[in-house]
Amino acid sequence: MARYWGKVLTAMVTPFDVDARVNLDMACRLARRLADTGSDALVLAATTGEAPTLSDDERFELIRAVSEAVTIPVLAGTGSNDTRHALALTARAEAAGAAGVFLVAPYYNRPPQAGIEAHFRALAAATQLPVMLYDVPGRTGRRIAHEVLLRLFREIDNIVAFKDATGDPAAAARLVAEAGDHFELYSGDDALTLPLLAVGAVGVVGTSTHWTGLEFAEMIAAFEQGDVTRARAVNAALQPSFAFSNTDDSVFSMSVKAMLRSQGLAVGECRLPLPPAPAGVEQRAAQVWQDLQAWRARQR
């Protein structure tokens, strides 16, 4: 059972207008749509939300506006590879209306494990909010060690969840076996959600959930009810969405925004260094969406 934020969390894109300014009205509209289509909570100002290109003021204006627009929880992405900066961001999250804090491991400077542990301990101490840690070594360049995670989960009361984007279900299974009473595991890779449910995950922090939230909710519910055959069938139907979400020429934020634009939502393009989506991406998005809609119709 997910104790804090539910089972389907969406790492929401940050809408921009034609001048690349944050579009708060569209952000609120998108957030309400996600709440109505399967998302139990939202993660704002994280990687998919193009956090590296947001100013601090933009980040908290976004969190405040969306928190006021929806009744589901909003987690604030306040991670940084500068601990002092992350401390300042984390301390502001509660006042902005966040229901939790989302902290990625320090990136680029590749600290040793002692530095990673000290970083997370300092940030957790800076807030009364529950904290979700995020390990994505493909982006950060350094994986969080198993023993570090065990200590953090066991010793710090408000570190309560873990988004696992390591691509290592065996390690996730070991972590749940040794510290499962102290934290909740979320899949950080949409395509690995079903395998991670099998080793103890409670849900997903997703990107394709911008348009597949209902399917993820169904898949997770089916698995929890013991209907593995149905869970597999839903997972199979989601494969085209997984493949579309991240390619060599269109990464997550770009692909999600292309999908939303193809559905009539003016979320804008990404900010550099993410370029405009290449020609054909919106057409591929429309086909993925059409095929998913057809699958839904066949289930009725």
| Residue 43, H or E segment | strand 41-44
7 is catalytic: no
Residue for token pair 């099998």:
198
Residues sharing a CB contact under 8 Å with residue 196, sequence separation 6 or more, in sequence order: 164, 169, 172, 185, 187
Residue with tokens 């320090």: 106
Helix pair angle (83-93, 56-69), 10° resolution = 30
Catalytic residue among 4, 7, 163, 186: 163
Task: Give the three-state DSSP class for 146.
Answer: helix
d(CA 243, CA 74): 27
Do 207 and 48 form a contact (C-beta atoms < 8 A)? yes
Q: Is 134 a catalytic residue?
A: yes
Measured CA to CA, the distance from residue 24 to residue 15 in angstroms comes to 7
DSSP 139-207: HHSSPPPHHHHHHHHHH-TTEEEEEE-SS-HHHHHHHHHHHTTT-EEEESSGGGHHHHHHTT--EEEES
User: Which candidate in 4, 107, 134, 186 is catalytic?
Assistant: 134
Alpha-carbon distance 87 to 101, whole Å?
11
Residue 205 labelled as part of a binding site: yes
What are the backbone dihedrals phi and psi of residue 26, each rounded to the nearest 5 degrees, phi first?
Answer: -70, -35
Annotated binding-site ranges: 48, 205
Binding residues for pyruvate: 48, 205
Annotated catalytic residues are 134, 163
